[in-house]
Structure 1
């Protein structure tokens, strides 16, 4: 069971595939090996290692990694605005912009779209305060959204898990007015299901930013960016004012990370394929702008 592969459904093809995990041996050692407690604390409860990674990936010396990562992760550079040779550092490449036509979406105001490229798990109705990620332990809305959880108890929630191969800019799934933002310091645990299955309260302990957005069709929703190992920076490029669907909200620097979107009770219903796959304990690989949910009339 400890080495059971992580299965993901490709939304475009319907095929199920085993996820390739960069550094899988080290993640399993850090979270599943009893001898690694000290190392786990040093690596994942401190930001030191992620800051060191960040300094390296911001430096021009890191450009040498770009071509090998493109090849290893089969990244489609035809979608990017700039060619690989134009980036000044690995983080510059990692936060690359895509051509607008690479991520089409519907302007239907009742349709809520995926906020990022990644692996989606949806919870159509929360058991008040609790949700349980794939192969994970119970997580708490109250700990994830301190001081802001009450209006979301019993609501709905979507987790979008980003991996190093993914486009790492995230966008508003629905338009509206930003009401407030809350920046919470914390640990930088891995967001990989291997780590979630080991017990840390990733969504309650990790560094994160929670933003409340009021929308005429879906009420007030919360958009939470969760930092993870290797992600020392969550950069929000839009932090106030009126926003539109698919407007860029921000980006992560190097590493895997997660976006969580939480809706109030009775406001939205998730797409049927996402619900069916999640009920079987499988994440669905989606692209930003694809349908995520619809407003309940």
Structure 2
């Protein structure tokens, strides 16, 4: 990505394009685009120490004064909050806020796969073997992202949901199923901003991440991946086993930009056409948790219906 190129995103609700507001944009561009900043990049973005220090600070009452300026700068809708802003003791309390249940409606149709988080979505309807390429980024491999697990997802489908500080930072199950496995993978904490993706670090193969396998009735085994990023103090899964329902809370990210990746086996789902069209143009689409992003493929839905008879 060229220096100072704006990040443009399509709002799914309105169909309009807008420029993303980036907290700390100057620092991110300096670290990832300035040829003189390699030492800074190593110290800040490959070492987790700085992110941990930020996490401790945002967990302290001293950070409370940052809440009101963040709401204003990021134009966050307070009417969706379950609790008022003055009830949060720290910035992270605010950051992992709950929303009113009616703020995120969703389809009850079992065939609909919903977005697990608020965020900017890119979809890949069919992977080129094991490879996907985010907006103006470098090729990434599911073999590196999911070591020892990836073969079942070759030629499958994948969705990237990129969260920004303005977003609701709890994530939810995109469909019903049974958790069969989960694993934490340690790693770096690169930024997941497109500025960083366009500058070379293997965010999906190097960053700290966790995956959960969800066995479903008709969508096969869905792999739900949480990717940590710069400034993220923790990936916290509040549910890690047993049967789950669509839109049950799965966990939350503490302060920072973060990403959820959904990986599907070949032929199991069909992404929504607007997401396919926007992604083909190299444009992310802003969606809200609970909005339908895919449907179980007709063939798989028919097979599931036949099994249930």
Give the TM-score, by structure 1 length.
0.99
Q: Tell me which stretches of 4 or more aligned residues in structure 1 moved more than 4 Å.
A: none
CA deviations over 1:263-297 (Å, ceiling 9, x no partner): 00000000000000000000000000001100012
RMSD: 0.6
* Pairwise CA distance, 1:217: 1.3
* Pairwise CA distance, 1:215: 0.3
1:143 aligned counterpart, secondary structure: helix
Q: Is the 8 A contact 2:235 2:252 kept in 1?
A: yes
2:230 aligned counterpart, secondary structure: coil
* Pairwise CA distance, 1:34: 1.1
Instruction: Report the counterpart of residue 250 of structure 1 in structure 2.
Output: 251
* Pairwise CA distance, 1:232: 2.2
Q: Is the 8 A contact 1:47 1:232 kept in 2?
A: no
* Pairwise CA distance, 1:156: 0.2
Instruction: Report the counterpart of residue 303 of structure 2 in structure 1.
Output: none
Instruction: Report the counterpart of residue 45 of structure 2 in structure 1.
Output: 44
1:225 aligned counterpart, secondary structure: strand
Instruction: Report the counterpart of residue 215 of structure 2 in structure 1.
Output: 214
Alignment partner of 1:286 is 2:287: yes
1:136 aligned counterpart, secondary structure: coil
> Partners of 2:69 and 2:21 in 1: how far apart?
16
Alignment partner of 1:163 is 2:164: yes
> Partners of 2:208 and 2:273 in 1: how far apart?
31
Gaps of 5+ in 2: 299-309
Equivalence map 1:1-297=2 (5 Å):
1-297=2-298
> Partners of 2:292 and 2:106 in 1: how far apart?
8
CA deviations over 1:8-64 (Å, ceiling 9, x no partner): 000000001111111111111100111111110110111100110011000011111
1:26 aligned counterpart, secondary structure: helix
> Partners of 1:4 and 1:42 in 2: how far apart?
25
> Partners of 2:69 and 2:81 in 1: how far apart?
17
* Pairwise CA distance, 1:2: 2.4
> Partners of 1:194 and 1:71 in 2: how far apart?
24
* Pairwise CA distance, 1:241: 0.5
